[in-house]
Copies of this chain bind each other. A is one copy, B any other.
Amino acid sequence: MSTKPRDPPQTWARKRSVTRARVLAAAAEVIQEKGFHRTSLDQIAAHAGLTKGAVYSSFASKEELFLAVLEGRPHQLEPKLKARMTRAEYFHALGEAAAALLPQARAQGAFFAEFFLYALTHEDMRQRMAERYATRFQEVGTAPTLNGAERLALPPREMSSLVQALSMGLMFQHMLTPDEITPELVVKAFQLLAGAPDGE
């Protein structure tokens, strides 16, 4: 009976991943409220019902934890696509996707803000995020299901930059003045980007 030397210890791995997940979730929550700098590892650990020891057994440093949290954030702005959408329909979907993010604006905004400050002094991180968005550039820009006949007002790459910038800007603005930025306005904004105010 050969002792399988490569039999992965399943329970440990699970335990490990569970606490890792707990720490990550706790970190995400606390950071959303207070920001990364203002949050101590003790606070994060306590919020997870654990201690700093647990944090350091899962993450090498506070910075690592921060990056892991950032990485774990879902890609936002995922419009509901259908086959053969018209341009107007496509941008309407984009607008609705962006509007759906408004409730999370506070949380998202906190992370964006932290990230920007971090990227300010970490060129490698800036690039990583830039690449991450670049993926979406294509997706949004080429509008995969978009009826080939219709053309955008701008080249796909440029248009997707604008989409990105607009949704980010709307989120921040919503954070600042929640009442001014309504879901309807967001949808209208994207309609304007589409270049065809056909619905009035």
Contact = CB atoms under 8 A, between A and B. Distances in A.
A165 interface: yes
Interface residues on A, range: 35 or more
Interface of A: 33-35, 37-38, 106, 109-110, 112-114, 116-117, 119-121, 126, 129-130, 133-134, 137, 153-154, 157-158, 161-162, 164-170, 172-173, 175-177, 180-181, 185, 188-189, 192-193, 195, 197, 200
A192 to B, nearest CB: 6
Given A113-B116, A195-B197, 19 more contacts: A110-B120, A112-B172, A113-B114, A117-B117, A119-B176, A126-B176, A133-B176, A133-B177, A157-B180, A161-B180, A161-B185, A162-B192, A165-B166, A165-B169, A166-B166, A168-B172, A169-B169, A172-B172, A192-B195
Oligomeric state, in copies? 2
A165 to B, nearest CB: 4
A195 B134 CA distance: 27
- Interface of chain A, main secondary structure: helix
Contacts of A176: 116, 119, 126, 129-130, 133
A165 B154 contact: no
A161 B121 CA distance: 31
A192 B153 contact: yes
Q: Which 9 A-B pairs have the closest CB atoms?
A: A169-B169, A165-B169, A165-B173, A37-B37, A113-B113, A35-B117, A168-B169, A113-B116, A165-B170
